[in-house]
Structure 1
Amino acid sequence: MRFLFPFNPLNEKEADGPFQDEWVTLQDRGVACSLFDYDVLGFNEFKPKPPLKAGETAVYRGWLMASGRVG
């Protein structure tokens, strides 16, 4: 299982502000987490870092999305 967080637009190596504490806590506990650019979701350019593995379950932790963006 991997948790997905939007990255901070000013620092791609950190989760966006409201999610930073949760991201750090999960990382400290050895839970797999990835960061991604929330702004490109509508352009089919979803590229989390590190990438998801084939068949891996992902849990989205981030900003609400319009129903058309959820797949």
Structure 2
Amino acid sequence: MEKTINGVKYYLPSSLTSEQEAIYVHIIDWKRKNITTQRGLYKGHEYDAILPNKATIPAMLYKPIMPLLEEMQQSDCL
């Protein structure tokens, strides 16, 4: 779902509480500033909170958790 908040466009899941939406917006703003502005795909829908397939993993991540992160990004949990 496309939603404009404070003049900024976000692609968010459609059934979020106001608290969840605030968390998503914070995560998306951080992702846009520190990693990429590109959206990721989940079940054919674009979401700002998901990393795109071509995103590089930030070097600051602890190396042993990288396989877990990759597994989480490929899961159907969203």
| TM-score, normalised by the number of residues in structure 2 | 0.28
| TM-score, normalised by the number of residues in structure 1 | 0.29
Rg comparison, structure with higher value: 2
Larger RCO (alpha carbons 8 Å, 6+ apart): 1
More strand by share: 1
More helix by share: 2
